[in-house]
């Protein structure tokens, strides 16, 4: 995770209190600026966990990690088009250049602006430690940090994914 987390102990405390959810704090171009322990464990081992767009399009493990990669990629492009339409976010041009240069899939999907149905909300993952996960993602805007978003990923109560996410949380707590 990126270490340039804005100094906001209240937000950090809130993220850490949500122990049963994987929580990520992302800046306007989806750089992961902070994560709770479960969020860090969820993305652990991925080479581009520092930026969600790089993760989808440049990480060699992305197509294995996201079991419905095409839907995730289309949803990521939809979000990216929204960010572009909202105006100039710091680092956006560099990110677009890096993705354009590094990924043929990015170029194709971005040019076509394919849209996705529920991939923004539902994430189906194959985690290397705990296996298959179906997580529901809620995105919360952080009013006191304009452009920042909190992504809270949770499993359906009582589901196998909830048990796997809990196991991942236990393993992360043991490791730290």
Name every residue whose Cβ is closer than 8 Å to that of residue 136 and which is 6 or more positions away in sequence. 121, 122, 123, 153, 154, 155, 156
- Domain boundaries in the chain? 24-175
**What would the CATH number be for the domain defined by 24-175?**
3.30.450.180
Instruction: Supply the pLDDT for residue 3.
Output: 47
Beta-carbon count within 10 A of 41 CB = 23
pLDDT, tens digit (0-9, with 9 covering 90-100), for 64-94: 999 999 999 988 998 898 898 887 788 999 9
Rounded percentage of the chain residues whose pLDDT exceeds 90: 72
CA atoms within 13 A on the CB side of 27: 18
Instruction: Supply the pLDDT for residue 119.
Output: 54
Burial of 80 (0-12, 13-18, 19+ CB in 10 A): buried
Reduced to 3 states (helix: H, G, I; strand: E, B; else coil), residue 145 is: coil
């Amino acid at each position: 995770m990126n270490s340039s987390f804005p100094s906001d102990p209240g937000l950090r405390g809130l993220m850490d209190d949500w122990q049963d959810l994987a929580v990520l704090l992302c800046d306007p171009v989806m750089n992961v600026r902070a994560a709770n322990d479960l969020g860090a464990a969820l993305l652990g081992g991925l080479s581009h966990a520092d930026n969600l767009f790089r993760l989808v399009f440049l990480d060699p493990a992305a197509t294995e990690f996201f079991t419905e990669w095409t839907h995730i990629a289309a949803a990521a492009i939809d979000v990216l088009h929204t960010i572009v339409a909202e105006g100039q976010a710091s680092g956006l041009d560099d990110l677009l250049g890096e993705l354009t240069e590094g990924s043929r899939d990015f170029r194709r999907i971005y040019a076509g602006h394919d849209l996705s149905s529920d991939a923004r909300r539902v994430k189906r993952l194959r985690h290397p430690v705990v296996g298959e996960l179906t997580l529901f993602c809620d995105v919360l805007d952080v009013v006191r940090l304009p452009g920042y978003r909190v992504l809270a990923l949770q499993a359906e109560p009582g589901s196998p994914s909830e048990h796997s996410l809990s196991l991942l949380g236990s393993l992360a707590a043991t490791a730290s």
